[in-house]
Amino acid sequence: MKKKIFNLLGKIDKFKSDHKEEIENFRIKFLSKKGHITELFDEFKKIPSEEKREVGKILNELKNQASAKIKFLKNNLKNKNVSEEKKIDLSLESTNFFGSRHPVSIIQNEILNIFNRLGFTVSDGPEIEDDWHVFSSLNFPKEHPARDMQDTFFIEKNPDILLRTHTSSVQSRMMENNRPPIRTVSPGRVFRNEAISARSHCIFHQVEGLYIAENVSFADLKQTLLYFAKEFFGEKTEIRLRPSYFPFTEPSAEVDVTCSICEGKGCNVCKYTGWLEILGCGMVDPNVLENCKIDSKKYTGFAFGMGIERIAMTKYQIKDIRLLFENDIRFLKQF
């Protein structure tokens, strides 16, 4: 199968055209429901388990390469008949990058790339939300003490309009507007009315994941998070799950990874425990599924969420979260 993939990669690399019909035929040939890449994904299901990780990686690269080539050719075609003065499209993504990426962007992109390889799509939603999507649909009843876990910014003293405190609101909208199977990650900025210090901020970023389908189990959740940890922190990384509480999942757990600094032996970064907490997770509570009009007797699912700043601070050994928001060029130049 790898030979087929590399053969197709060569054909994609060599293909050139400035004709609309040829580009469309190329797209159909490779990316349509009956195209070469779709056939390979069907064939991928039958290969031995020990080969799936390696083959899956290059298969995704093949798909991304084909999509990028089509986009590139269409952009060239679009600009072909434009006068020389207007030939440069400033809205196009640049292939040359000046300066450096912000550490939050670096970490977010790395996280999304890992889950993309597992088949998760990226979803987005509004930062100014309503009570239903932030709290009520996620099993936070009115006056429930769990609401005190998150200090909220309300808009114009309206208790129904607020700045989202987590990107779980995006998951709520995804469940309302899509039928299972649902497999998505939701990155974004969130807001909590907290005092700014070296360890906390009123603005930060999250990536939350959701998988809803038939027969999804806690074992699926654990294996997904173990794969993420090994891909992000290194092959030797192990995880442990500790019982916890979140209103929208049951059972719930906090997830720790072996400290990448001391490799689990104990140091000042992990407070000599050998472990670092990185995220919370659990099985989606049946009440949440029913609130979003999904049959909880037929479908199950898991959810997880992690703070991007916390992971960035862990990976780059940043001791003050405020550095990530001050745009000090001396700090940013390091990345």
Global model pTM greater than 0.75:
no
Spell out the domain ranges in the chain: 2-86, 103-332
Question: CB-based contacts of 210: which residues, under 8 Å, 6+ apart?
Answer: 171, 174, 175, 182, 183, 184, 185, 186, 284, 301, 302, 303
Strand, helix or coil for residue 291: helix
pLDDT at residue 89 greater than cutoff 80: no
Tell me how far the alpha carbon of residue 14 is from its chain's centroid. Answer: 32
Choices 3.30.450.20, 3.30.930.10, 3.30.365.10, 3.30.300.130: CATH for 103-332: 3.30.930.10
Residue 189's φ and ψ, nearest 5 degrees, are -90, 140
Q: Among the ranges 11-25, 115-129, 196-210, which has the highest mean pLDDT value?
A: 115-129
With the CA atoms of 127, 131, 133 and 138 taken in that order, what torsion angle do they form, in degrees rounded to the nearest 10? 130
Q: How far apart are CA 60 and CA 41, in angstroms?
A: 9
Residue type, 144: H
pLDDT at residue 83 greater than cutoff 80: no
- Angle made by CA atoms 131, 167, 136, in degrees to the nearest 5: 25
Q: How far apart are CA 203 and CA 106, in angstroms?
A: 18
End-to-end CA gap in the chain: 38
Tell me how far the alpha carbon of residue 104 is from its chain's centroid. Answer: 13
Asked whether the beta carbons of 148 and 179 are under 8 A apart, the reply is: no
Kindly report, residue by residue over 28-52, the tens digit of the pLDDT: 888 888 888 888 888 878 888 888 7
Task: State the average pLDDT for the chain.
Answer: 85
**Bigger pLDDT: 194 vs 183:** 183
**Bigger pLDDT: 193 vs 299:** 299
pLDDT at residue 284 greater than cutoff 90: yes
Q: How far apart are CA 289 and CA 178, in angstroms?
A: 12
